[in-house]
């Protein structure tokens, strides 16, 4: 199939916010306990954090991490997780019907995040908690000292405040499953008041209000309108969540969900603009896509297990094993985030370790990178700078979730600081090679500095403890710069990252 892409150095979509490649980790399953933290593991450091997992996290260059939930946060008391460990209560986690030992809390997590070089993004409990609780948490975390809550932190051995800048106002408050779920207007009111209270402490912080849990919620997109009408001027971002799957075993339809996500983002963008106009507001708010990933392989079984089990401690939960098809999908989805980077400023892969995660770690055993680790790493390392507009001419297909979907999915970034042009391409055709020619007006690259590919695997191929590198990135030589154009032959079902200077 013949394909043509055109870019121009001056035709940019937006400067990409580095936080587009953030992550999320929740107190659930084995994400924290035996995921990042496992005292006694041969790889544990002096604080009990797994060095093998840490190394894999560091290699992702994650800018920020959302913590501690998720559904968990809506019944979590942050005070349970601070102070002497042997005095911390064991609690029932209502979201995942598990036991929470509270051996990791804000201060331990902060140590891990600092070691990993990741900025914390904290969520407050607006389910069973509320404004007062959020206010106290802010004081504990961010105030220097000389007050009740800040001195308590100091008494807990943390002299310096953390200066956390990103604060999530609850989680998925539109979902009837959420502990303390609210109607849109009620939630908008409490979010507004909480955001104002937190900003009264420090106007430089940013707050994120909950949008819909996904674009199939019956209240979507009315939820966004009603919530924003209550709090537009006091918040900075509205969150979007969406999880994906290919239950019907229809690969092209699965890949069509990339474009469907673009429509979701644009719709919420439209609601933002509508509310801004209606309120005659001056400020802009952006999208924080703070939960996204593939989640379907064993979702039904997990749902059943959670109902039946007897409040276990750190049980295996949502431990999805990702295949090559999922990796291709994630490559395309990250391309969509780059293309929508004028609206989406923060996005968080959900989650980071064990629970629907690019990294898996066995209790007492090895850790390994799942298939989806690789496209996430490529986007995070190289999808920085400016997102450039790419005009793509390629054959298209229709599927259940959309029509006229291009077989070639392209995102282009230009990192002015490093002087690097990066092209991310997914050829989602099932059988045809894409003959690519790309015009690069304003650029005159000498040649290709790096070309990585994921290709040639069975769509169902996975990585595991015995075969950790089965599906990974390879070097590729199927493209070249000729007569000022990028030309290549991209195999069917392949994901490419091509870097030129």
Task: Show which residues are catalytic.
Answer: 172, 291
Closest CB 165 distance from ligand AHR, rounded Å: 21
**Closer Cβ to ligand AHR, 35 or 48, answer by number:** 35
By DSSP bridging, strand 12-15 and strand 386-388 are: antiparallel
Positive or negative, the CA dihedral 189, 193, 196, 202 is: negative
DSSP 211: -
Inter-residue contact 319 to 354 (CB < 8 Å): yes
Interface positions, 346-405, toward ligand AHR (CB under 6 A): 350-351
DSSP 312: -
Contact string (CB under 6 A) for ligand AHR, positions 270-299, x = contact: ---------------------x--------
**Closer Cβ to ligand AHR, 70 or 269, answer by number:** 70
The size of the interface with ligand AHR (CB under 6 A), counted in residues, is 10
**Closer Cβ to ligand AHR, 50 or 241, answer by number:** 241
**Closer Cβ to ligand AHR, 40 or 176, answer by number:** 176
Which listed residue (125, 171, 260, 340) binds ligand AHR by CB under 6 A? 171
Two tokens at 113? Answer: 């995040």
Angle between the N-to-C axes of helices 148-155 and 131-142, in degrees from 0 to 180, rounded to the nearest 10: 50
26 binds ligand AHR (CB under 6 A): yes
Interface positions, 51-80, toward ligand AHR (CB under 6 A): 69-71
**Closer Cβ to ligand AHR, 165 or 181, answer by number:** 181
Contact string (CB under 6 A) for ligand AHR, positions 122-161, x = contact: ----------------------------------------
173 binds ligand AHR (CB under 6 A): no
Q: Which of 474, 377, 390, 394 is nearest to 428 (CA)?
A: 394
208: left (phi over 0), alpha (psi -120 to 50) or beta: beta
**Closer Cβ to ligand AHR, 43 or 214, answer by number:** 214
For residue 228, give Cα distances in angstroms to 235, 337, 457, 477: 9, 22, 45, 49
302 binds ligand AHR (CB under 6 A): no
Neighbouring C-alpha atoms within 13 Å toward the C-beta of 81: 20
Quote the strand ranges of 245-307, DSSP E. 286-294
Q: Which of 479, 497, 461, 123 is nearest to 334 (CA)?
A: 497
Closest CB 178 distance from ligand AHR, rounded Å: 8
Beta bridge partners of 237: 208, 286
Q: Which residues bind ligand AHR (CB under 6 A)?
A: 26, 69-71, 171-172, 213, 291, 350-351
């Amino acid at each position: 199939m013949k394909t043509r892409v055109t870019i121009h150095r001056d035709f940019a979509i937006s400067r990409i916010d580095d936080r587009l490649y953030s992550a999320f980790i929740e107190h659930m399953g084995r994400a924290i306990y035996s995921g990042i933290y496992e005292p006694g593991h041969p790889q544990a450091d002096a604080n009990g954090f797994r060095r093998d997992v840490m190394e894999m996290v560091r290699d992702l260059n994650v800018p920020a991490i959302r913590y501690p939930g998720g559904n968990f946060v809506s019944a979590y008391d942050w005070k349970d997780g601070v102070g002497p460990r042997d005095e911390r209560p064991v609690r029932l986690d209502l979201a995942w019907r598990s036991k929470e030992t509270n051996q990791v809390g804000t201060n331990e997590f902060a140590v891990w995040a600092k070691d990993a070089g990741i900025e914390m993004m904290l969520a407050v409990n607006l389910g069973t908690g509320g404004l007062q609780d959020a206010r106290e948490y802010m004081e504990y975390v961010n105030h220097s000292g000389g007050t009740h809550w800040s001195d308590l932190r100091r008494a807990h051995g943390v002299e310096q405040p953390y200066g956390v800048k990103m604060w999530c106002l609850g989680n998925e408050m539109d979902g009837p499953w959420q502990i303390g779920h609210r109607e849109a207007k009620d939630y908008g009111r409490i979010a507004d008041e909480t955001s104002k209270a937190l900003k009264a402490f420090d106007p430089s912080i940013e707050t994120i209000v909950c949008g819909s849990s996904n674009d199939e919620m019956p209240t979507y997109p009315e939820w966004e309108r009603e919530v924003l009408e209550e709090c537009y001027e006091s918040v900075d971002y509205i969150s979007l969540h969406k999880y994906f799957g290919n239950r019907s075993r229809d690969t092209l339809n699965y890949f069509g969900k990339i474009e469907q996500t673009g429509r979701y983002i644009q719709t919420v963008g439209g609601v933002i603009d509508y509310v801004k106009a209606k309120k005659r507001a001056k400020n802009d708010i952006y999208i924080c896509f703070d939960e996204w990933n593939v989640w379907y392989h064993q979702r039904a079984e997990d749902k059943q297990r959670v109902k039946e089990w007897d409040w276990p401690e750190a049980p295996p939960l949502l431990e999805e094993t990702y295949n090559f098809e999922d990796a291709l999908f994630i490559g395309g989805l990250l391309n969509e985030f780059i293309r929508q980077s004028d609206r989406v400023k923060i996005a968080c892969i959900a989650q980071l370790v064990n629970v629907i995660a690019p990294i898996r770690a066995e209790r007492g055993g090895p850790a390994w990178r799942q298939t989806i680790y690789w496209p996430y790493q490529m986007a995070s390392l190289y999808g920085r700078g400016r997102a450039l507009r790419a005009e793509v001419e390629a054959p298209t297909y229709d599927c259940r979730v959309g029509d006229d979907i291009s077989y070639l999915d392209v995102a282009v970034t230009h990192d002015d600081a490093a002087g690097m042009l990066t092209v991310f391409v997914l050829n989602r055709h099932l059988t045809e090679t894409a003959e690519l020619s790309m015009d690069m007006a304003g650029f005159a690259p000498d040649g290709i500095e790096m070309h990585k590919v994921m290709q040639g695997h069975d769509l169902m191929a996975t990585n595991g403890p015995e075969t950790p590198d089965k599906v990974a990135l390879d070097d590729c030589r199927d493209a070249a710069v000729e007569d000022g154009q990028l030309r290549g032959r991209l195999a069917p079902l392949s994901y490419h990252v091509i870097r030129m200077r």
